[in-house]
Amino acid sequence: MIRIGTRESALAMAQTGLVAQEITRVSGEEVEIVGIKTIGDGTTVPVARLGVGVFVNQLREELDRGTIDIAVHSFKDLPTAQPEHLVIAAPPRADPRDVLVSRGGKSLDELGPGARIGTGSPRRIAQLLALGRGFEVVPIRGNIDTRIRRTEDDLDAVVLAAAGMHRVGREGEISQYLDPLVMLPAPAQGALAVECRKSDKTSARISSMLNDRYSHAAVAAERAILERLKAGCSAPVAALADVAEGAESGKVDLYLRGSVFAADGSVTERLSTTAELNEDDLVNEAAAVGRAMAEELIANGAEQLLKSNS
């Protein structure tokens, strides 16, 4: 029996259920899902104030105690520093985009000045304000149900992750998929992290069977930007990598975009780059591309921009 630990939220349980099904499919092992309450659950305090790892630390503690064999996280919630005794696999990534859920099914273009849009993400807030359309952005927290219900009450729309909406079966309520040119996603958005102890050879073997190298490489490039900028998962930093098989055998093409924002959307630093990676060292080379982009962002003033937000 493989014990899989996860947060107790409906979304976390739903996405862990998908991982559990895949573990059984590839390994034949029976699984048990163990719900664990984290510091980030059951509070309305903004994530930025709670600190890094609020949705992760308790799961890792249970891994270390051996009460669970595998932990499933939303990859974007993980601190960028990875404990040496733990190993991560990345299953195939879901849609990384943000979506709009609005009253009456309106798109962003159909929402006029003064429209109240809810989100708890500094990254989303900055990008909505940067559009200069006079939106009133309302900080909110809570699960998907709680946020969507606000559109029946005091909000005109909310911004959520497409992957989460699909995983809980509510994709039919999406009013608009937001183009990354309008709303660049958070690093690792839509990706899951399957984590276990390196010393647990059975769990490590099973986890490795779930790993999608292209998804893992894309996430590595995006999160390397965060790591070099010393920015947490709630910072107004966005990144999106596309990874595909290259024209030349043994090569992989990477297209990476990264942005850093002022909290009020008044200043934005944006970069994009392409790179050719070697298949045999895909994740490390992708991360190197991300670090190089972060260095260029820093040269353009990104560190000062992030400091001005604090």
141-188 pLDDT tens trace: 888 999 999 999 999 999 999 999 999 999 999 999 999 999 999 999
Catalytic residue among 7, 97, 123, 197: 123
Active-site residue flag, 76: yes
In the three-class reduction of DSSP (H, G, I as helix; E, B as strand; rest coil), residue 137 is classed as strand
Active-site residue flag, 124: yes
Catalytic residue among 60, 93, 97, 124: 124
The pLDDT score that the predictor gives to residue 50 is 46
Catalytic residue among 77, 150, 197, 223: 77
Tokens 């699984």 belong to which residue? 31
**pLDDT tens column, 32-50:** 999 997 765 555 545 555 4
**pLDDT tens column, 228-269:** 998 876 789 999 999 999 888 889 999 999 999 999 999 999
Catalytic residue among 103, 116, 133, 141: 141
User: Residue 134's closest CA among 159, 152, 162, 108?
Assistant: 108
According to CATH, the topology of domain 1-91+191-211 is: D-Maltodextrin-Binding Protein; domain 2 (3.40.190)
User: Residue 122's closest CA among 106, 144, 141?
Assistant: 141
According to CATH, the topology of domain 98-177 is: D-Maltodextrin-Binding Protein; domain 2 (3.40.190)
Active-site residue flag, 141: yes
CATH number of 213-310: 3.30.160.40
Active-site residue flag, 123: yes
- SS3 per residue for 259-277: EEECCCCCCEEEEEEEEEE
Residues 6+ apart with CB under 8 A from 148: 101, 158, 160, 170, 173
pTM above 0.75, yes or no: yes
Same fold, 1-91+191-211 and 213-310: no
Catalytic residue among 7, 60, 69, 76: 76
pLDDT at 30 over 50: yes
Active-site residue flag, 196: no
Tell me how far apart the alpha carbons of residues 164 and 41 are, in angstroms, rounded to a whole number: 16
Residue ranges per domain, the chain?
1-91+191-211, 98-177, 213-310
The pLDDT score that the predictor gives to residue 154 is 94
Active-site residue flag, 3: no
| Residues 136 and 246 sit within 8 Å (Cβ to Cβ) | no
| DSSP percent split of the chain into helix, strand, coil, nearest 5 | 40, 25, 35
